[in-house]
Structure 1
Amino acid sequence: MAIFTTAQEAKVSYTVQGKSSDTSITNTVNGDATMTHQVPIVGLYANKNNDVTLNISYEDGTSDSKTIHIKTNKLSKYVKGAKITVSKNDKSQMDIGDNKLTLIDRTTKEPFAIDANGDVRWYTKNYSQHTFEELSNGHILILTKKDINSPAYNDLIETDYLGRVYKEYNFKNKTKSSDSANNGENDETTLIHHDILELPNHDLLATVSDGSEYKEDVMVQISHKTGKVVKVIDLKQLLPNSLYKHFKKGSDGKNDWFHQNSLEYDTNDDSILISGRNQDMILKIDFATNKIIWIYSGKKKSTWPKEYRDKILTPTKGTSITGGQHALTRLSDQDGNPDSEDILLYDNNQNVTNGDKDASGKYSQAVQYHINTKKMTIDETWAYGKRIGKKNFTYIIGNAQRLSNDNTLIDFGFKNDGKESNIIEVDKKGKEVFNVTVENSASKAYAYRAYRMSFYSDEYQFNVLDDSN
C-alpha cells in the first residue's frame, strides 16, 4: 500500500515494472479524485526490490510521476515448492491485457497467480480448497480454514487482493434441518464443496453436503446480510430416485451418487447450470421453480422415466458424450437465436456411470456445445484436447475458461495422477499460445481450476475504514 498526499485533487495509476516485455502490471486506482491517496499495489515479485511507477493526474490537467521501490519477502513454502515451467508464451496472442495473471486455484494449500513468464506475482497465505470466486465488487471469496492442521475447510471469507477480510461465514455441521450458516465453529467435515457463486441480489449459492447419508447433491442460497440459508435445492427431489437409491456408497459410508462439481447462474433466464460428475450429466433448471429445463447425459432417453424424456437433449452426429465433466459455463450469444444457447465445459472423459465407454480414458478436453432448446438438440461446435491424447488425460478436476479475446484457457489439473498440472491457452483454431506446467508442491496441491483474471478488476476499490467499522 502506497500512502501519500498531493497538493491538489488527483487520480492515480501505477505500473509494477516487469522483468521482461509484456509482464508489467498496470492498474488505475478506482474512486474519486482526492488529495489523500491509499494505493493498493498488486503484481509485485517476491524476494525482490520492485520498481513501481506512480502516475498522478491532477484536476487541472497536469500530471506527475514518481518511481518508488518496494522490497518483498520470499515466497511461502508451498508456493515456492511448486515448480513452474513455461514451454510456450506467445504474449502477442495471449489474453493478458495490462493486468491479467493466471490464477492457480488449488485443491489445498495457497492459491497463487503467475504472469506469462511463469513468475509468481500474487499469492495468499490463506489455505484454500476449490473455491476462489470474484464478486461483483471486485472482492474475492475464498473457502479456507483458521487452523491449517484441521482437515475441514469451513471458513468462507470475503477478502481482497491485499488480504483485508470484509466478511466471514463460519460453517458447522449440525443436522439436516439446519437453517444457519453462521454458527461460529468448524467441524471435521467440509460442508461447502467445489463451487459457490454470487446471485444478482448478492446472496451466495453454494454446493453443499447436508449431513445426510447422501453428499454433494444439495445447493443452498445463503443471505449475504444474515448468513441464514434462505433456499435449499435438493437434486434428489428433481431427478429420478433410480439414479441414487442403489448407487454404491463410498469408503466414508456416504452415497455420492451425483457429485455436483460446478454451478453457474444464467442471467438470461434466471436459471442454474449444473454439472454432476458421477452421473456424467449436465442439466439446467429454472431457479425460481426448480423445474428442469434440459438434461444432457449418455443415459439413453428410453431408459428415463416418461415424465423426463421431453427434457433430454438429443446429440447430433459426432457430438461427444461427457464423462466425469467439470466447470460448466454459459457463453455469450453466438447466433442471435433466442431458442439456442452455447456452453463450455471441461470433459474429463471418464466414464463413471453414463459416459462413453469406448473413448473413456483416452483423452480429456475442453468442449463447446450449441443447444437448440426448441428442437432439444445438442451439437458439439469446438473442442481441444483429443489430439494431445492420453498424456493429458485427467480423471478428476479440471477447468475450461473462454477468454475475452475468444481464446480458451484449459486446466488439465490432474495430469500424471496429480503430480503436475498442465495449463494451456489456445486460440479458436486450436493453436497453442501459452503452455505452463506446475509440478505440485504437496499432496492435493494440484490446480483444481485455473483462471485468467485481472489483478485487480475495474470494480475493486480499497475503501478506507474508520474505527466504527
Structure 2
Amino acid sequence: MKSGSRHRPWLVGGLIIIGLALAGGGVYWQQSRTAPVKDVARHAKQVEHTGGLATATIKQRLQPTLSTTGVTQTRRLSATYAKQLKPLKAGSAGKVITNPYRTSPLSALILVKTKAATQVTTEVVGDSPATTITHTIKGYRTSHQIGVLGLYANRTNQIKVTYTTKAGAKTVQTYAVKISKLPRDIGTNTLKTSTPSKMALGTGNAKLTFAVSSQGLTYGLDAQGQVRWYATNKISHVFKPLKNGRLLVLTKKKTSDSKYNALRITDYYGRIYKQYNFSGMFPTKADPNKLAVNTVIHHDAIELPNGDFLLTVDDGSAKYVEDTMIQIDRQRGKIKKIIDLKRVLFKSAYTKYKATHRSDGKKDWFHQNSMVYDQKHNLLIVSGRNQSMILGLNYQTGKLKWILGADQKIPAAYKKYLIKPAKGTKFQYNGGQHAINILGESDGGNVLHLEYYDNNVAVTRGDLKTSKKYSFGTEVSLNQQEKTVQSLWSYGQSRGQANFTNIVGSSYNVGQGNTLIGFGYADSGKRSEFVEVNRQTNQVIFDVNRTNFAAGDWSYRAERLSLYLKVES
C-alpha cells in the first residue's frame, strides 16, 4: 500500500465498501438473469430490453379481423340448394351435386324428397368391406339434403342410400357419381402394409389417415391407402376437429397469397362458418422501419374448454420468432391473453441461442410446435423443438411448473424444475420433439400419461449418443410432484436412419391398442411415412409411403380422424 493511503484510512474503507457494493450488485445482476421468473409481468421489461415486445405492441400487431367473404358464399350456396330442393317431387331420384361448397371434390350433396318421413343411411361402396364407408343421419324427415363424404377420385362411385321409415320399411336408391382425378400436388401414396381387421377405422370405416400438410394439400387415406378426401385450398400445419363437429384450419386469405394468414372454421364439405384474418406485416431485423409479410400462426392451434382458441404465433418482433402464444375470443377474434415464453425461461436461452440459423437473421430459439391444455388442473404443456424441452406451465399465471429436457445448459436456479428419470430406470430425453399430448392422468392429476414424437435430434440439448440415428413415437409417465419420468412404450428405433426425421412428425394413440406415427421428414424431406403399430406386439398393421410431392410440402402430422365428426350438444 502506498504511504499516502496509510494516512487516509477513510479512503481505503470507502474503496472497500464501494468494491463490495459493486461485487454484490454484480452477483445480484447475474442471479437476476438466471433466477426463475416468479412474476411474469415484472420480467417484461427485461424481455423488452433484449428485443422482445410489450403486450400492448403484440396486440396491436396481431389483432385479427373477422372476414365475412367465405361465410357469405357458404350461406348463398346453402340457400341455393334449399331452393333447388323445394320443387322436387317426392319419390323421384332427386338431384346430386358434387363438390357442393367448391373446395372438397370428394364430397357430394343429394337433394331428395320422400313420401314418408325416413331416416337416411349412406354407403359409399369401396374396393373392400373395410373401405366401404357408411353413415346414418339421425332423425326422420321428408325433405333431405344428404351429405356424402369419402368418394374415390378418377372413377364413377356407387352411392347406396337407404331410406328407413319409423315402421322399419326400407327403400334403397343407388346413385352413380363420377369424380375427376386427383391433383398431382398430393404426391404418390404407396401402400406397404395393411391389416384392416386390426386397424382403428371407427364406425362405418369413416376414420381416415389424414396427412396434414406443412404447406399444401391435406388429404385422408382409407385402409388401402386410397385418397378418400382432400381440400383444394392449401393448408399449413393446423387441421383440428372441434367439439361442435367442425374443423379449424390455417389457410390463405387468397389463393395468390404467399403466406398463410387465415384461421378458418370449416367442415369436410368446405362450408365456412367463421374466419379470422391476420395481416402479418412485421418489421424486419435488417431494417426495423421496413415491413415484410409473415405467416402469423405457425404450427399449432387448440380449442380451449370455453370455445376460445390458443394459437402459437410470431408476435411481430424484429428479433425473435415462434415463441409466443395468444388466446383469441372465438366470437370477436379479440386477443384476451398473451404468453411470451421469453418471460418464462432463463435469459441465456434466447439471448445466447446459436444452434440454428434463419435466412432472415431472426432467432428461432424455442420453435414452439405443439401444446395441450388440462382444464381440471389449469396446466398448459408446450413443446419447443429448438430447446428440446417440454414445459409444464400454470396457464392462469404463466409460471413454470416443470421442464422435461436433458440437464444441459440449464442455469443452477432452474434445475429444480427438471424432470428426472424415476428411481431405478433409464430415460432417453427428448430431442427436437413434436406433437405433445395428454393421454390420461392418475393420482388426482399429479401423474400424467403423455405421448409425443421424439425426433431425437439434440438441438440445444438431448441424447448426444443417439442423436440423429433414429426417431420414434413414445408414451411416458410423468410424476409432477416427484418430478420424475419413466418410459412406457416407444417405436421407431428399429427403423434406424431410414426413418430419422430432423423436423416435423407425430405420434397419436388411435384406439384398438394402436398408435399412428407420422415420420413426416424422412429422407431429408423427400418422403413421408405413416405407420400404425400395435403397442403390445409392435406389429405394423398399416404403412404408407408418400413421395413425389412439392418441395416443402412434407406431411407435418398424421392423424386418424372420422369424416363424420361427433357433434357435442
TM-score, normalised via structure 1 length = 0.91
Distance 2:141 2:374 in 1: 38
Amino acid at match of 2:406: G
Pick aligned residue for 2:330 from 224, 231, 245: 224
Pick aligned residue for 1:264 from 363, 372, 380: 372
Amino acid at match of 1:240: F
Q: Residue 456 of structure 1: CA displacement?
A: 1.4
Amino acid at match of 1:202: G
Pick aligned residue for 1:205 from 302, 306, 310: 310
| 1:413 alignment counterpart | 520
Deviations, residues 28-85 of structure 1 (Å, cap 9, x unaligned)? 224x422211111000001211111112222233332222111112212312xx1111
Q: Residue 353 of structure 1: CA displacement?
A: 0.5
| 1:50 alignment counterpart | 157
Counterpart check, 1:122 vs 2:122 = no
Distance 1:108 1:148 in 2: 12
Amino acid at match of 1:123: Y
- After TM superposition, the structure 1 stretch with the greater mean CA deviation from structure 2, 284-293 or 355-364, is 284-293
Q: Residue 247 of structure 1: CA displacement?
A: 1.4
Distance 2:312 2:235 in 1: 16
| 1:241 alignment counterpart | 347
| 1:179 alignment counterpart | none
Counterpart check, 1:188 vs 2:315 = no
Q: Is the 8 A contact 2:120 2:162 kept in 1?
A: yes
Q: Is the 8 A contact 1:93 1:433 kept in 2?
A: yes
| 1:355 alignment counterpart | 462
Change (3 A) 1:62 1:187: farther
Distance 1:440 1:400 in 2: 23
Counterpart check, 1:434 vs 2:542 = yes
Pick aligned residue for 2:398 from 278, 290, 295: 290
Amino acid at match of 1:410: I
Q: Is the 8 A contact 2:282 2:292 kept in 1?
A: no
Distance 1:336 1:44 in 2: 46
Amino acid at match of 1:74: K
Distance 1:225 1:454 in 2: 26
Structure with greater proportional helix content:
2
| 2:362 alignment counterpart | 254
| 1:83 alignment counterpart | 188
Deviations, residues 195-228 of structure 1 (Å, cap 9, x unaligned)? 0011111111000001111110000001111111
1:341-420 map, 5 Å: 341-420=448-527
| 1:328 alignment counterpart | 436
1:302-341 map, 5 Å: 303-306=410-413, 308-316=414-422, 317-333=425-441, 338-341=445-448
Q: Residue 19 of structure 1: CA displacement?
A: 1.1
Pick aligned residue for 2:243 from 133, 136, 140: 136
Distance 1:163 1:77 in 2: 20
Change (3 A) 1:338 1:153: closer
| 2:118 alignment counterpart | 10
Q: Residue 399 of structure 1: CA displacement?
A: 0.5
Q: Is the 8 A contact 2:261 2:280 kept in 1?
A: no
Partner-residue secondary structure (3-state), 1:9: strand
Amino acid at match of 1:229: I
Unaligned runs of 5+ in 2: 1-108, 284-290
Distance 2:263 2:481 in 1: 40
| 1:103 alignment counterpart | 210
Q: Residue 168 of structure 1: CA displacement?
A: 0.9
Change (3 A) 1:336 1:65: farther
Q: Is the 8 A contact 2:208 2:561 kept in 1?
A: yes
Deviations, residues 278-312 of structure 1 (Å, cap 9, x unaligned)? 000001112122122221111259x4342x33322
Distance 1:416 1:175 in 2: 34
Question: Looking at CA atoms only, which structure, 1 or 2, has the larger radius of gyration?
Answer: 2
TM-score, normalised via structure 2 length = 0.76
| 2:51 alignment counterpart | none
Distance 2:224 2:481 in 1: 46
| 1:214 alignment counterpart | 320
Distance 1:93 1:135 in 2: 27
Q: Residue 398 of structure 1: CA displacement?
A: 0.4
Distance 2:251 2:392 in 1: 29
Q: Is the 8 A contact 2:530 2:543 kept in 1?
A: yes
Distance 1:418 1:440 in 2: 11
Deviations, residues 74-122 of structure 1 (Å, cap 9, x unaligned)? 212312xx11111100111111132111111111111111111111100
1:24-63 map, 5 Å: 24-30=132-138, 32-63=139-170
Deviations, residues 135-184 of structure 1 (Å, cap 9, x unaligned)? 111111121114444321101211111111111111013569xxxxxxxx
Amino acid at match of 2:211: I
How big is the alpha-carbon RMSD for the aligned residues of Structure 1 and Structure 2?
1.9
Amino acid at match of 1:188: V
Amino acid at match of 1:11: Q
Amino acid at match of 1:320: Q
Unaligned runs of 5+ in 1: 177-185, 462-469
State the identity as a percent. 38
| 1:181 alignment counterpart | none
Distance 1:89 1:456 in 2: 23
- After TM superposition, the structure 1 stretch with the greater mean CA deviation from structure 2, 261-270 or 158-167, is 261-270
Partner-residue secondary structure (3-state), 2:415: helix
Pick aligned residue for 2:386 from 262, 275, 278: 278
Amino acid at match of 2:195: D
Q: Residue 405 of structure 1: CA displacement?
A: 1.6
Amino acid at match of 1:422: E
Q: Residue 337 of structure 1: CA displacement?
A: 6.0
Amino acid at match of 2:516: L
Q: Is the 8 A contact 2:124 2:157 kept in 1?
A: yes
Amino acid at match of 2:125: Q
